[in-house]
Amino acid sequence: MSLWAGFAAGALHVVSGPDHLAALGPAASRAPTRAARLGATWGLGHGVGVLAVALAGRLLGDLVALDRIGAWAELSVGFVLVALGVRALARTLKRVEPAPPDARGPFWIGVLHGAAGAHHLLLVLPALLLDPAGALSYLGAYLVAAVLAMAAAGALLARSLRGRGARAHRVAQGLAGAAALLVGAVWIGASVQLA
């Protein structure tokens, strides 16, 4: 039961977050042939970030102020999204042929997203309440689901760009950049209001 619950929580959470898709969009639209791999790398980073928060909560309990770490990570997510959006828009406007993105960037951005925010508490809470074997099963399934769901999101983007010309790729890059910029600005505003 904990295996399926973790899988469902991971998949639903990762693809339902506008910040997640906005973070993946600029890199995936820059390199559609690698979009599924970039999505999987982002999902792996996200799962690692969530696992780190869950393990810190389980092992250290009240010794670590997870809410403060999460609040700073949320604010950082907003700034990273703005930076990704500005960079994507600048490339689009300059019509620069983008170099393929390095997979380390999406991984670390995923880690930051995974460590961000109190909303993960609801998803990680079952792992904190389960016995060690159940918690491991839940969190492992969460990680696998995060990887598969974001790989699927990347693959869908790649499929939508398959066979399209350079102009369509630039438009997709511009739209992804604008989305990342907008979501990042909203994220910063929401994070500042909550602080």
So what's the pLDDT on residue 99? 64
Contact call for residues 43 and 149 (beta carbons, < 8 A): yes
- pLDDT tens track for 181-191: 999 999 898 87
Q: Could you give the percent of the chain with pLDDT greater than 90?
A: 15
How far apart CA 105 and CA 43 sit, in angstroms, is: 12
- pLDDT tens track for 1-24: 777 888 888 788 777 878 888 888
How far apart CA 121 and CA 30 sit, in angstroms, is: 33
Residue 96, helix vs strand vs coil: coil
